[in-house]
């Protein structure tokens, strides 16, 4: 076994006698537990937010990037002729895989969220919608607009780009904010644990002095504190993570009409990601306490 592994094993298994030399420090222990639990809880939600917005951005990009709509507004007598003309133009446009006229029922479904299911769509002067699917390389939008205006004056190409880009950008920003939040939660955890460790070290100044007097090395003294704080951070973060995962699991399920809020959960292997939070909190606590301990011990002769 390599020396590093031996040290890790020794750290994880601990030394009962060595751990006892530092007295239990009630309030710092409780503070560390509570902070880690709260941060673990928040980290799960930040992670859920980040993953949900990521999925949303991907879905919007995927769903909208490959389709466009041609809207035909024409007098009733010319509607069919212009629709046929648009279909013909689209059929011969490079980069367009297919085009289809939306049925009356599909147009009714699109309007249902605003006007209800019983809208007498036949009696309304609604434009006819034609959905087109593009190839991976896409088509020349400006060229298509010019051809449409020549062949079907009432047709307007809407390639969704105008409103798709800001939506996808917003979703990407939200995903980034979620990740930034996780980093900030980690840093806040480190700061809080450093403060707790400093308080514990200050409260145990006499203990440190006695240990140095009888020949304890800095690493021995630091380890007693580091093990304690790492253990507490691990326990707290595990409890907070478990509670948050339960809360996420109890959120209403996502459905087609659910939108963003009901999709704020983990899916598939995504449920494994929050399990990384407790060990990460332990690592943060380990380094924060170790740095605080060695800084304090450096001031003791």
Partner 1 sequence: MIELDKVAHSYGGGELLSGISLTLMPGSFHFLTGPSGAGKSTFLKLCYGELMPSAGHVQLFGRDVGAMSRDDVAHARRRIGVVHQDCQFLDHLPLAENVLLPLTVAGQDTGAEADNLIELLSWVGLARQAASRPPELSGGERQRAALARAVIMSPEVILADEPTGNVDWDMSLRLLQLLVELNRMGKTILIATHDLNLIRAAKAQVSARVLRIKDRRIQLAGADL
User: Does residue 3 bind partner 1 (CB under 8 A)?
Assistant: no
Is residue 216 a contact residue for partner 1 (CB under 8 A)? yes
Tell me if 273 sits within 8 A of 47, measured CB to CB. yes
Determine the Cα–Cα distance for residues 245 and 42; give it in Å rounded to an integer.
Answer: 11
Tell me the number of residues near partner 1 by CB under 8 A.
Answer: 21
Cβ atoms of 67 and 134 within 8 Å: the answer is yes
Asked if residue 208 binds partner 1 (CB under 8 A), the reply is no
In the complex, least distance from residue 217 CB atom to partner 1, rounded to whole angstroms:
5
47 and 109 Cβ atoms separated by less than 8 Å: no
Nearer Cβ to partner 1, position 91 or 217?
A: 217
| Residue closer to partner 1, measured from CB, 9 or 59 | 9
Q: How far is the CB of 220 from partner 1 (least distance, A)?
A: 6
Choose, by CB under 8 A, the member of 220, 243, 248, 262 that binds partner 1: 220
> How far apart, in whole angstroms, are the C-alpha atoms of residue 293 and residue 229?
11
By CB under 8 A, the residues from 16 to 55 that bind partner 1 are 17-18, 20-21, 23-24
- Comparing CA positions, the residue from 163, 178, 162, 138 lying closest to residue 55 is 178
Angle, vertex CA 191, rays to CA 188 and CA 193, nearest 5: 105
Q: Is 215 in the site for partner 1 (CB under 8 A)?
A: yes
Q: Measured between alpha carbons, how far apart are the two ends of the chain, in Å?
A: 35
101-109, 143-151, 209-217, 253-261 -> range binding partner 1 (CB under 8 A): 209-217
Residue 253 neighbours by CB distance under 10 Å = 8
Does 13 participate in binding partner 1 (rule CB under 8 A)? no
Which is nearer to partner 1, 51 or 216 (by Cβ)? 216
**CB 203, min distance to partner 1, A:** 12
- Taking the C-alpha atoms of residue 138 and residue 125, their distance in angstroms, rounded to an integer, is 32
207 counts as binding partner 1 under rule CB under 8 A: yes
Q: How many angstroms separate the CA atoms of 221 and 200, rounded?
A: 12
DSSP 8-state class, residue 270: G
Q: Any contact of residue 214 with partner 1 (CB under 8 A)?
A: yes
Among 137, 206, 255, 268, binds partner 1 (CB under 8 A): 206
Q: Binding to partner 1 by residue 261, rule CB under 8 A?
A: no
Task: Return d(Cα 135, Cα 144) in angstroms, integer.
Answer: 15
Positions 128 through 187 that interact with partner 1 (CB under 8 A):
none
Provide the binding-site residues for partner 1, judged by CB under 8 A.
Answer: 17-18, 20-21, 23-24, 206-207, 209-220, 301
């Amino acid at each position: 076994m390599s020396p590093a592994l031996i040290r890790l094993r020794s750290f994880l298994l601990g030394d009962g006698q060595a751990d006892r030399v530092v007295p239990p420090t009630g309030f710092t222990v409780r503070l560390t537990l509570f902070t880690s639990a709260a941060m673990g809880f928040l980290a799960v939600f930040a992670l859920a937010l980040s993953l949900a917005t990521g999925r949303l951005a991907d879905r919007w990009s995927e769903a909208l990037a490959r389709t466009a709509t041609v809207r035909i507004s024409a007098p009733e007598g010319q509607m069919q002729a212009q629709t046929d003309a648009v279909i013909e133009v689209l059929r011969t446009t490079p980069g367009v895989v297919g085009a289809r006229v939306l049925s009356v029922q599909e147009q009714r479904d699109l309007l249902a969220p605003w006007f209800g299911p019983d809208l007498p769509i036949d009696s309304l002067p609604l434009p006819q919608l034609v959905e087109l699917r593009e190839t991976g390389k896409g088509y020349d939008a400006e060229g298509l607009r010019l051809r449409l205006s020549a062949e079907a004056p009432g047709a307007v190409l809407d390639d969704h780009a105008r409103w798709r880009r800001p939506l996808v950008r917003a979703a990407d920003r939200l995903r980034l904010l979620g990740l930034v939040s996780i980093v900030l939660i980690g840093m806040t955890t480190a700061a809080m644990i450093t403060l707790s460790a400093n308080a514990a070290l200050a409260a145990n100044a006499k203990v440190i002095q006695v240990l140095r007097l009888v020949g304890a090395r800095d690493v021995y003294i630091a380890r007693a504190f580091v093990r304690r704080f790492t253990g507490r951070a691990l326990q707290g973060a595990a409890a907070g993570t478990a509670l948050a995962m339960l809360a996420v699991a109890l959120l209403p399920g996502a459905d087609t009409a659910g939108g963003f809020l009901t999709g704020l959960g983990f899916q598939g292997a995504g449920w494994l990601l929050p399990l990384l939070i407790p060990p990460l909190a332990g690592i943060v606590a380990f380094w924060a306490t170790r740095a605080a301990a060695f800084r304090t011990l450096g001031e003791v002769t």
